[in-house]
Amino acid sequence: MASLQRQDGTVVTDLQAIQAALAPLGVTLNYWPTGGSARLQALLAQAALNEAEKEELLGHLDHYFQRLKDEQGYQSRDLIVLHEALPGLGEMLGKFDKCHTHADDEVRYIVDGEGIFGFVLPDGQQVELTVAAGDYINVPRDTEHWFRLTPMRRVKAVRYFSSTAGWVPEYTGTPVLF
């Protein structure tokens, strides 16, 4: 489950309190259980997945995708699998660890591992949200944020797209204070 760290070091773990703290940004955070199928759990336990295994895992979770298609018009989804042995991991993550925005919403459903989204609040304060398996997050377009992995250095996330055109980071120059 998610936890939110404020600049003063306090940590919030109550989902409703985190949702309230992120509401001024329009960020949506929910908890969606992945389910208990033995095959799904076996796929989630693997550090790396081939393309067929990624599609199989996505198939287990497509009831969420169908809901997003019906309610919000999402058109496609994929699965990103990041782990320590992934070639070019540092270079890839280096594109997103600075304050940036996107021209489209950034929508993730974390199904394994952990990651950290940082945000600049309207008053200029910064917070970091650690997301873990079961956390669904929608970061609205033009929201100043950054992303990095936790020391676990592993995450599997379903990405939902209405279009892929707006996913290039637009750096803001705001220094990350964490």
**Cβ atoms 74, 162 nearer than 8 A:** yes
Residues β-bridged to residue 161: 76
Q: How far apart are CA 144 and CA 118, in angstroms?
A: 8
Residue ranges of domains in the chain: 3-171
pLDDT tens column, 99-157: 999 999 999 999 999 999 999 999 999 999 999 999 999 999 999 999 999 999 999 99
Taking the CB of residue 176, how many other CB atoms lie within 10 A of it?
A: 14
CATH architecture of the domain with residue range 3-171: Sandwich (2.60)
Give mean pLDDT, residues 60-82. 95
Q: For 15-24, what is each residue's pLDDT tens digit?
A: 999 999 999 9
Q: Is the dihedral of CA 77, 78, 82, 87 positive or negative?
A: negative
User: Does pTM surpass 0.85?
Assistant: yes
Contact 42, 56 (CB under 8 A): no
Whether the Cβ atoms of residue 8 and residue 125 lie closer than 8 Å to each other: no
